[in-house]
Amino acid sequence: MALTKLGRADTPPDRSLETFPIGDSSQEITIDCREFTCRCPITGQPDWATIRIEYRPGDRGVETKSLKLYLETFRDEGIFHEHLATKMRDDLVAALEPVFLKVTVDFNVRGGIALAASSTYQR
């Protein structure tokens, strides 16, 4: 797959994740996205979170600009936190075919409650 988003300032957010050959499947990769936003599906209020993606690749790694654009597509979407962790896991597993992948969504406190949800895939 060609990398079409990297190096282009005019690339709009979309849900496609670009990958590249990683070469070394013994690596453990961690990506933290500290400025994630989505909306409560009931109230429409904004929610802020840190997204942590941990994976052991098969043959492919995720290109981080495409990941950033993917994450931006959730900005105005109403989604429950628990569903978000599973949705991201499924999308990343489909793109990467990893040996192991875990997505953790750690939301900021709202109404006095902090919520973190994780979803894991193991080949």
* Domain spans of the chain, in order of start: 20-122
CA torsion sign for 103, 32, 17, 38 is: positive
| CB contact burial 101-114 (16+ within 10 A = b; e otherwise) | bbbbbbbeeeeeee
Q: Could you say which of 33, 38, 47, 90 is catalytic?
A: 47
33 is catalytic: no
pTM to 2 decimal places: 0.91
Question: Residues marked as binding for substrate?
Answer: 62-64, 81-82
20-122 — its CATH code? 3.30.1130.10
Q: Could you say which of 40, 59, 90, 91 is catalytic?
A: 40
pLDDT band of 5, cuts 50, 70, 90: low
The enclosing H or E element of 120 equals strand 113-122
Residue 9 has pLDDT above 90, yes or no: no
Of 59, 43, 44, 50, the residue nearest 84 (C-alpha): 50
For 10, counting Cβ atoms within 10 Å of its Cβ (0-12 exposed, 13-18 middle, 19+ buried), the class is exposed
Q: What is the mean pLDDT of residues 46-61?
A: 96
38 is catalytic: no
